[in-house]
């Protein structure tokens, strides 16, 4: 079956930290932050589950209808992390398997919602940026923990505060549920921060995490 998602071969997969850093610095120049899809009907959640005490993993992608949050398509791929765990270079462990899972989809999602960060990254090129640039699909990052400095947002749902690194706003701490810990939203590629936060709120009507992340997490754990 021919994949409906094309992955651009913009780099070889690195074997050293210095090679990985160089790739991130090069990809950063390709990230676009002033676009918004004309219509967002479907959103893909991406998540990776590591098998206990090993580098074996399952990369899962679930595509949801944004209006109903019903499942449209899904794919899961077993693999092995070939790159060591290094802070700031997480994409090189997870992106290869996630890209394979994306290529098994039968539909092209309007946006990728990554379980991780985008511009909220020391080199402004986290997992959401990396996957967005390689697929040229709109993408955002929704992290569970902060990368950068922030002040807690107000308690009501929808409240947010800026996340900064080196004096630059790189994302937002967004309260998706009143009185619940915020999530950390950042641009990946071909999106704006305002629209990314609006989308995350649409995808998280009941729980802290967006349904895209929750559904991909469930699939990766049971695959």
CATH code, 121: 3.30.2170.10
pLDDT band at 108; cut points 50, 70, 90: very high
Q: What is the pLDDT of residue 2?
A: 74
How far is residue 88's CA from residue 127's CA, in Å, rounded to a whole number? 9
194 is in an annotated binding site: no
How far is residue 36's CA from residue 156's CA, in Å, rounded to a whole number? 26
198 is in an annotated binding site: no
Residue 30 included in any domain: no
Average pLDDT over residues 98-118: 97
pLDDT band at 48; cut points 50, 70, 90: very high
Residue 125 included in any domain: yes
Average pLDDT over residues 180-187: 98
Residue 33 included in any domain: no
The helices-and-strands tally (H runs, E runs) of the chain is 5, 8
Q: What is the pLDDT of residues 74-93, one digit of tens each?
A: 999 999 999 999 999 999 99
pTM of this prediction?
0.96
- Cβ 208 vs Cβ 142: under 8 Å: no
- Cβ 63 vs Cβ 72: under 8 Å: yes
How far is residue 3's CA from residue 130's CA, in Å, rounded to a whole number? 19
- Cβ 128 vs Cβ 112: under 8 Å: yes
Residue 167 included in any domain: yes
Residue 11 included in any domain: no
Residue 209 included in any domain: yes
Residue 25 included in any domain: no
Residue 9 included in any domain: no
Q: What's the total number of domains in the chain?
A: 1
Domain range enclosing 208: 38-222
- The partner residues of 59 in beta bridges, in order of sequence, read 48, 77
How far is residue 55's CA from residue 63's CA, in Å, rounded to a whole number? 26
Helix (H) or strand (E) holding 50: strand 42-50
């Amino acid at each position: 079956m021919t994949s409906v998602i094309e992955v651009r071969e913009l780099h070889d997969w690195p074997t050293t930290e210095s090679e990985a850093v160089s790739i991130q610095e090069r990809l950063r120049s390709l990230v676009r932050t002033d676009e918004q899809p004309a219509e967002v009907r479907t959103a893909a959640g991406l998540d990776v589950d590591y098998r206990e005490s090993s580098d074996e993993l399952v990369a899962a992608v679930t595509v949801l209808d944004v209006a109903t949050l019903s499942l449209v398509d899904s794919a899961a791929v077993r693999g092995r992390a070939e790159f060591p765990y290094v802070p700031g270079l997480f994409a090189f462990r997870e992106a290869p398997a996630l890209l394979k899972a994306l290529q098994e989809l039968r539909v092209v999602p309007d946006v990728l919602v990554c379980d991780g960060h985008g511009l909220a990254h020391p080199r402004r090129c986290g997992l959401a940026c990396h996957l967005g640039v390689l697929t040229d699909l709109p993408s955002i990052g929704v992290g569970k923990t902060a990368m950068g400095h922030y002040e807690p947002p107000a308690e009501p749902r929808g409240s947010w505060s800026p996340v900064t690194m080196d004096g630059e706003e790189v994302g937002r701490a967004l309260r998706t549920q009143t009185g619940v810990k915020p999530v950390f939203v950042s641009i990946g590629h071909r999106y704006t921060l305002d629209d990314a936060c609006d989308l995350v709120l649409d995808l998280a009507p009941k729980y802290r995490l967006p349904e895209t992340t929750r559904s991909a997490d469930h699939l990766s754990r049971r695959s």
